[in-house]
Amino acid sequence: MQLWNQRRGISVDENGDPLPSRCCSLDDVYDARRVAEELGFPFYVLNLEKEFERDVVQPFVNSYLNGETPIPCVACNSRLKFASLDKLAASLGCEKVATGHYARVDFDEATNRYRLLRGRDPQKDQSYFLWELTQDQLSRALFPLGELSKSDARQAARNNHLAVAEKKESQEICFVPDGDYSGFIDRYLESEQQTARLPGEGEIVTTNGNVIGRHSGIHRYTIGQRRGIGIADAKPLYVLGVEPTSNRIIVGYDDELLSNEFSAAGVNWIALDSPAQPIRAEVRVRYRHTAAPATITPLPDSRARVTFDEPQRAITPGQATVFYRGDEVVGGGWIVKNSKQ
C-alpha cells in the first residue's frame, strides 16, 4: 500500500528533506517488491494516498484540534488494510489476507465466531490496534507472526535470505516519523491553506479556575503530559484536561489524573453479539497500559460505560480502549469522555 506522499514536504528535517519512515516511504515499497522477487510471488502496489489522507490523516488533525489525543493506527488497520486491501485481495481471487501484525485469529466452533487473540510475544502484541475488525474481515485474516517473537521473525527472514531481515523498526506514527505531532499539524494546515483553524494562545488554569499561565495552542498538549507546561510549582504539574471550546488547558497534580470511569463510542464487539447486560473484562485505555479489571455497561448507539475496580491514570479521549478476557479480545471502542472532564 502506498499511503502517504513523503514528497509533499510536510514531514521534513531542517534541510527540507523527507524524514525517514518505516511504513509510508518509497523505500518500503521497494523493500516489499524486492521480497516478492526473492520469494517469487506477484507484486502489486495499491495507491491509497487519497483514502489515507481522508480516513486517517484528516481525522488525526481534527482530533487534536478538538482537544483529544488520537491513535490513527487503529483507523488505518480497519479502514484501509482490512477494507481497501481486503477488497483488492478478493478481486484477485485471494482467499486470505496475511499481515505482519503480532496477533492471532482462530475460529471457535462452539460460538460460531472468529476470535481475535493477543500475539504470543507480550512485548510485541498488536491486538490492541485490531479491535475494529468485523467477523467477515477476521474470517479472511492471517497473522503469521502471531506465534513468534520479534527475534524469531527476524531469524526466519535471515533463513530465507531476505534483505529486510535487519531492517529497523519505528514506534512513531508513520506519517509523523519525528514524533512532533503539533509540528506536523502546523505544517499540514499550512500546506492546506487552513492556518486559520490553528488554535491560538490561551489560558492555563487550575481545577478551581485560577489562571496560572498561558499556552501556545491546545494541540500541543495531552492528558498526563508533564513536560512543556512551563510553570513552576511546589509539586510537578500535569495536564488534566484540554478544553477546545474555551481554549484552556487544565493542570493539576499526579493524583488528580486518577479516574474510575469513562465512556466509549463506536464500540465493536468481537467475541459476542452486543450484550444486553454488563460484562466483566480486563480493559486497556492505551497501547502500553496494563489491562485492569472493569465492568463494561452497554449503552445505546454502540456506546458503553467502563467502570474500573481501581482508579486508572490519565484516561484520554481520542485513544482506543480494548476489552480482554485473558488473551481474547472481547471488543473495543473510542474513549470519548473522562468522568473528570
Residue numbers annotated as active site: 76, 174
Query: 134: helix, coil or strand?
Result: coil
Q: What whole-number distance in Å separates Cα of residue 147 and Cα of residue 119?
A: 6
Q: What whole-number distance in Å separates Cα of residue 204 and Cα of residue 311?
A: 25
Which residue has 487503529 as its cell numbers? 74
Angle made by CA atoms 173, 175, 180, in degrees to the nearest 5:
70
Q: What whole-number distance in Å separates Cα of residue 200 and Cα of residue 215?
A: 8
227 neighbors 179 (Cβ within 8 angstroms): no
Strands 320-325 and 279-284: antiparallel
Which residue has 513523503 as its cell numbers? 6
Rg (CA), the chain: 21
Number of other CB atoms surrounding residue 153 within 10 Å? 17
- 3-state secondary structure labels for all residues of 25-55: CHHHHHHHHHHHHHHCCCCCCCECHHHHHHH
If residue 163 lies in a helix (H) or strand (E), which one and from where to where?
A: none
Which residues touch 155 (CB under 8 Å, ≥6 apart)? none
Residues written for the chain:
341
Q: What whole-number distance in Å separates Cα of residue 284 and Cα of residue 304?
A: 14
